[in-house]
Chains A and B, each alone.
Chain A
Amino acid sequence: AQSVTQPDIHITVSEGASLELRCNYSYGATPYLFWYVQSPGQGLQLLLKYFSGDTLVQGIKGFEAEFKRSQSSFNLRKPSVHWSDAAEYFCAVGEDNNDMRFGAGTRLTVKP
């Protein structure tokens, strides 16, 4: 059965520092992989999506993610974090928009 693991429940980084959020997945076929962000009191917003092609995917707000099939990973990165990036980040796997399974999320705190 498909599943998603986000090993880090909470991460704190300083503003301007780089960020990497980890995501590991288990899926029988070739999955679609997603990263969503959820700010307090708001709905989830799609940051980026991967299915095939270049394994480095660019998203909105300066985020990127790299698909590594050998490691079953899809880690999210940002070179320089802004205070407005503080939020909950969710990795998800699915068959495109169907049967999407979310990880438990990583809460990002940004220190000034």
Chain B
Amino acid sequence: EAGVAQSPRYKIIEKRQSVAFWCNPISGHATLYWYQQILGQGPKLLIQFQNNGVVDDSQLPKDRFSAERLKGVDSTLKIQPAKLEDSAVYLCASSLGPSGGELFFGEGSRLTVL
């Protein structure tokens, strides 16, 4: 069974530029999550989707971050404009549902903002 796929694995941009990350969850997983992991810290939930609807985006900096999951499968996380403090690994995870089961994480996309 294929795992959670993310791309790109690495991205370097300058501040004020924009960047987009893509996530393809495990087939059949209705719930998709984006986490931000800053160096030396644990992952922080940015947004949670149930199918193509947003369940929780309370910690998403909406002035610069946006995410969508239009067809309830793939998802894109965008940052525009990027700030230095956005340098982090962006982790995508998926699960069958919001209750029970296990979260499966992708390998992450490492963003460096110069």
Contacts and interface: CB of A to CB of B under 8 A. Distances in A.
A43 B106 contact: yes
Q: Is the interface of B mostly helix, strand, loop or mixed?
A: loop
B105 interface: yes
B56 A4 contact: no
A110 interface: no
Interface in A43-88: 43-46, 49
A42 B3 CA distance: 12
Given A44-B105, A97-B103, A98-B55, A90 B98 contact: no
Task: Bin chain B's interface residue count.
Answer: 20 to 34
A40 to B, nearest CB: 11
Q: Is the interface of A mostly helix, strand, loop or mixed?
A: strand
Given A102-B43, A102-B44, A43 B4 contact: yes
A46 B111 CA distance: 24
Contacts, number: 56
Contacts of B95: 97
B41 A104 contact: yes
Contacts of B105: 43-45
A41 interface: yes
B103 A4 contact: no
Contacts of B102: 46, 49
A67 B112 CA distance: 38
Contacts of A13: none
Contact of B98 (A44, A45, A49, A97): A97
